[in-house]
Chains A and B, each alone.
Chain A
């Protein structure tokens, strides 16, 4: 009895230690890749590290980073949210219209965007949980439906920078200590999501649901409520992304955020979140988003033909998932060896 307990204890301890190491190695690998890329680019063109250039980079990364956090939460549960681009478009248009009509304050606009996104996310969650529709299908459907709604609402109109309140545009282009407000918002969200996933019961439950849904249910995880939480969170963050998008570009038309879902999924995958759930961190996804943005920005500086950009992103996704597979196979083998040792 005690022997069994001791063994299982030691097994879980080594397990999580190895896992921790793998995860840390994963984040470390991303940081390393980022450092090399930035180093090479900067050595060829020092202006890449100028204040302005770094600010531009952070501006560009803000929206993808935010959406990647939401996507991580959903992907952890073995789900996916393809509708984020359409949700972003809808939220950007709704907040843009509200801002130009009423000139509301920035925090109110952020809340409005969050609310619009949360409603869309709740719709996704309801279809998936109550309708028992697979996430890929449900969110592909809402991708079309919500984009159609944006087209209906916006038609051929466009919200111009001159329609938006000054304070909102200043929020979009302003920065504190060299860090754009938009990026600061995204990083705050990233930290919050990271803490939620790592330290809170509801967050840990998402990992359990993703690793083994049946076992998690039997262990008493309220699957329905957790799934709803995940999709509402992803929707709300996409909605918030819509507000940041409107603030950054100052121009919103019916195609805002079109096709961004693939970038976000790419960022999450490159960031080491397993597409079949149960493993990955918000920090990894954030680093993935940052890496993709840096590549986008480095190519023109390195004078690499911009036609190569998409091909490089594709190759990177393949490399990332292949690497993860390799690492996890190694880790599993190491675990097994450890296990046999104890025996």
Chain B
């Protein structure tokens, strides 16, 4: 009886499989995102009374706390209301629920750091259809799904700065490795690509060799053990580049407690508060980062400018972001904060974030 029922069940499935040889395959259908047609009025005033919501990758993350402080300050200056909300786990599916909620509440400006470049798109489209201006910051989504992206830095520039710092510390010779965040992270992967291309093409880096890329998943413990693994697998390793604040702190803590301290150079992106100890004890010579508070502030101003009709996201438009100064919209509706700041023993005590 079971067997007959099973045959009955699988028959239509198999028929479907066989019948669908001419079905939908990759690359056939690609829907385009909506494009903005409105024209900008560069002389318009910032609207007051806008509602701003910041949705980070996950709450409980000091980096985004700093961004939210900047965005809140900007929202207050502009006479708007500000909310900081989000999931406690950094997953795309939880972010979707939050976007749906915010679009129901008809938030005027959504400031988003995305956990996935594609998974959020349909929800973002609905939010934008309801009149919400979507500004991504820190980590972008597909350009078709948002109005503007506020980039902390130009990705080329981050990659080049990281490579330059590493080269200076090891005289541009020897093996290097990268300790990244999650394997899917959009911005980390872009920087790694830049570094790989530069290593291959720039003759002054000819003696440097990238031997490994490992992922610490932005988890302290995992990054710590991955650093261990790197040093065991590559005895001749000269430098580690970690383009993530969690990774560099974990790697620095590992190095500072071992015989590799001062022998293997470590550089990357880190916050001065987390790295201060390791710069003082000689584990780390120099690292870089942008100011996350300024990034949040710029994101809020960008959102406000778009909601007020000062900019639409077309290349070349100009707006003023309070004390941060004047910014120009680049290609793909990207606004860039500026070059990363380098921190070393001489200047680290001037910063507190």
Interface set of A (CB-CB < 8 Å, partner B): 45, 47-48, 52-53, 56, 60, 151, 154-158, 160-162, 173, 249-251, 253-255, 296-297, 299-301, 303, 306
Contact (Cβ within 8 A) B258 A52: yes
Nearest Cβ on chain B to A88's Cβ, whole angstroms: 11
Which residues from B are CB-within-8-Å of A297?
A: 225, 228-229, 232
Which residues from A are CB-within-8-Å of B215?
A: 306
- Total interface residues in chain B, CB < 8 Å: 32
> Nearest chain-B residue to A307 (Cβ)?
B183
Contact (Cβ within 8 A) A306 B274: no
Q: How far is the CA of A300 from the CA of B223 in the complex (A)?
A: 13
B273 contacts the other chain (CB 8 A): yes
B39 contacts the other chain (CB 8 A): no
Which one, B88, B232, B233, B258, contacts A151 given CB within 8 A?
B88
Q: How far is the CA of A14 from the CA of B23 in the complex (A)?
A: 67
Q: How far is the CA of A156 from the CA of B62 in the complex (A)?
A: 5
Which one, B214, B226, B260, B273, contacts A160 given CB within 8 A?
B273
Nearest Cβ on chain A to B86's Cβ, whole angstroms: 10
Contact (Cβ within 8 A) A300 B226: yes
Which residues from B are CB-within-8-Å of A56?
A: 225, 228, 258
Interface set of B (CB-CB < 8 Å, partner A): 59-62, 64-65, 88, 214-215, 219-221, 224-226, 228-230, 232-233, 235, 249-250, 253, 257-260, 273-274, 276-277
Which interface residue of A53, A162, A255, A300 has the most chain B CB atoms within 10 A? A300
- 19 A–B contacts from the bound complex (CB under 8 Å): A47-B232, A52-B259, A56-B228, A155-B60, A156-B60, A160-B273, A160-B277, A249-B220, A249-B224, A249-B250, A249-B253, A251-B274, A254-B60, A297-B228, A297-B232, A300-B232, A301-B233, A306-B215, A306-B226
Which one, B219, B225, B233, contacts A45 given CB within 8 A?
B233
Which interface residue of B88, B229, B250 has the most chain A CB atoms within 10 A? B229
Contact (Cβ within 8 A) B253 A60: no
Q: How far is the CA of A45 from the CA of B231 in the complex (A)?
A: 12
Q: How far is the CA of A160 from the CA of B246 in the complex (A)?
A: 12
Q: How far is the CA of A151 from the CA of B233 in the complex (A)?
A: 37
Nearest Cβ on chain A to B148's Cβ, whole angstroms: 25
Which residues from A are CB-within-8-Å of B273?
A: 160, 162
Contact (Cβ within 8 A) B65 A156: yes
Nearest Cβ on chain A to B190's Cβ, whole angstroms: 21
Contact (Cβ within 8 A) B64 A156: yes
Q: How far is the CA of A157 from the CA of B274 in the complex (A)?
A: 12
Contact (Cβ within 8 A) A173 B220: no
Contact (Cβ within 8 A) A255 B60: yes
> Nearest chain-A residue to B254 (Cβ)?
A56
Which one, A155, A250, A300, contacts B253 given CB within 8 A?
A250
Known contacts A48-B232, A297-B225; 12 further A-B pairs (Cβ under 8 A)? A53-B232, A56-B228, A151-B88, A156-B62, A157-B62, A160-B277, A161-B277, A162-B276, A173-B257, A249-B250, A253-B61, A300-B228
Nearest Cβ on chain A to B256's Cβ, whole angstroms: 8
Q: How far is the CA of A154 from the CA of B61 in the complex (A)?
A: 10
Nearest Cβ on chain B to A143's Cβ, whole angstroms: 14
- Would A300 and B229 be within 8 Å (CB), given that A52-B259, A161-B253, A249-B224 are in contact? yes
Which residues from B are CB-within-8-Å of A254?
A: 60, 88
Q: How far is the CA of A305 from the CA of B235 in the complex (A)?
A: 18
Q: How far is the CA of A173 from the CA of B221 in the complex (A)?
A: 14
Which residues from B are CB-within-8-Å of A53?
A: 228, 232
Which one, B60, B214, B235, B249, contacts A251 given CB within 8 A?
B249
Q: How far is the CA of A156 from the CA of B66 in the complex (A)?
A: 10
Q: How far is the CA of A299 from the CA of B215 in the complex (A)?
A: 13
> Nearest chain-A residue to B63 (Cβ)?
A156
Contact (Cβ within 8 A) A154 B233: no
Contact (Cβ within 8 A) B214 A306: yes
> Nearest chain-A residue to B59 (Cβ)?
A156
Q: How far is the CA of A60 from the CA of B225 in the complex (A)?
A: 8
Nearest Cβ on chain A to B177's Cβ, whole angstroms: 11
Which residues from A are CB-within-8-Å of B224?
A: 249
Q: How far is the CA of A260 from the CA of B71 in the complex (A)?
A: 35
Nearest Cβ on chain B to A255's Cβ, whole angstroms: 7
> Nearest chain-B residue to A55 (Cβ)?
B258
Contact (Cβ within 8 A) A300 B61: no
Which interface residue of B232, B235, B277 has the most chain A CB atoms within 10 A? B232
Contact (Cβ within 8 A) B232 A162: no
Which residues from B are CB-within-8-Å of A45?
A: 232-233
Q: How far is the CA of A251 from the CA of B273 in the complex (A)?
A: 12
Which interface residue of A151, A158, A173 has the most chain B CB atoms within 10 A? A158
Q: How far is the CA of A251 from the CA of B253 in the complex (A)?
A: 9
> Nearest chain-B residue to A53 (Cβ)?
B232
Q: How far is the CA of A282 from the CA of B276 in the complex (A)?
A: 41
Nearest Cβ on chain B to A303's Cβ, whole angstroms: 6
Nearest Cβ on chain B to A159's Cβ, whole angstroms: 11
> Nearest chain-B residue to A251 (Cβ)?
B220
Which residues from A are CB-within-8-Å of B64?
A: 156
- Would A300 and B220 be within 8 Å (CB), given that A56-B228, A151-B88, A249-B253 are in contact? no
Q: How far is the CA of A161 from the CA of B250 in the complex (A)?
A: 11
Nearest Cβ on chain B to A278's Cβ, whole angstroms: 33
> Nearest chain-A residue to B258 (Cβ)?
A52
Q: How far is the CA of A45 from the CA of B88 in the complex (A)?
A: 40
Q: How far is the CA of A152 from the CA of B329 in the complex (A)?
A: 39
Q: How far is the CA of A251 from the CA of B277 in the complex (A)?
A: 12
Which one, B61, B232, B253, contacts A156 given CB within 8 A?
B61
Which residues from A are CB-within-8-Å of B221?
A: 249
Nearest Cβ on chain A to B81's Cβ, whole angstroms: 20
Q: How far is the CA of A254 from the CA of B60 in the complex (A)?
A: 7
Which 3 A-B pairs rank lowest in CB-CB distance, beginning with the nearest?
A300-B229, A173-B257, A156-B65
> Nearest chain-B residue to A245 (Cβ)?
B221
Which residues from B are CB-within-8-Å of A300?
A: 214, 226, 228-230, 232-233
Q: How far is the CA of A249 from the CA of B226 in the complex (A)?
A: 14
Q: How far is the CA of A211 from the CA of B273 in the complex (A)?
A: 54
